[in-house]
């Protein structure tokens, strides 16, 4: 299975940004963690990150013909990007929403995910392990959406 891990705005700043929420591990640490999962689960994983909404949408569209599934941490776009919601709905491969922190226990605006209903599942608050659970969900679902 070919999986795309797509990270949105400010994820490149973990380890620096709000360590009391996201911890001290860096984005490079996250990439290395995900690469280790690739071998453990016998999957191929590409990791991409952008701070720009349009680029995330373009990558999702491109991913439709390239990957079997997507693990998406849309960052703050989770809470207001109907364009990402539409992009997820426009592709034929399953998308799993993940978040490092528990968005239901944060600021009021973060408690709402406008992309959740377009995804096959949502995994929150498990730190880096959210990505592993996302891989497991994609493997359980196979390539059906």
Residues involved in catalysis: 22, 99
Q: Tell me the sheet residues that pair with 124.
A: 99
Closest by alpha carbon to 43, among 145, 135, 141?
A: 135
DSSP annotation of 129 reads: H
Rounded Cα–Cα distance for residues 114 and 93 (Å): 19
Tokens of 57: 């949408």
Rounded Cα–Cα distance for residues 135 and 77 (Å): 21
Asked if residue 88 lies in contact with residue 62, where contact means CB atoms within 8 angstroms, the answer is no
Rounded Cα–Cα distance for residues 137 and 96 (Å): 8
């Amino acid at each position: 299975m070919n999986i795309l891990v797509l990270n949105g705005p400010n994820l490149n700043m973990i380890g620096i940004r709000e360590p009391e929420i996201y911890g001290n591990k860096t984005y490079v640490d996250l990439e290395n963690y995900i690469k280790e999962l690739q071998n453990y689960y016998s999957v191929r994983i590409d990791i991409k990150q952008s701070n720009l909404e349009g680029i995330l949408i373009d990558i999702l569209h491109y991913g439709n013909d390239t990957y079997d599934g997507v693990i998406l941490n849309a960052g703050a776009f989770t809470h207001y990007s109907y364009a990402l919601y539409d992009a997820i709905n426009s592709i034929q491969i399953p998308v799993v929403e993940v978040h490092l922190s528990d968005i239901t226990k944060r600021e009021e605006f973060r408690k709402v995910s406008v992309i959740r209903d377009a995804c096959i599942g949502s995994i929150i608050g498990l730190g880096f392990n959210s990505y592993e659970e996302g891989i497991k969900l994609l493997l359980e679902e196979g390539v059906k959406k």
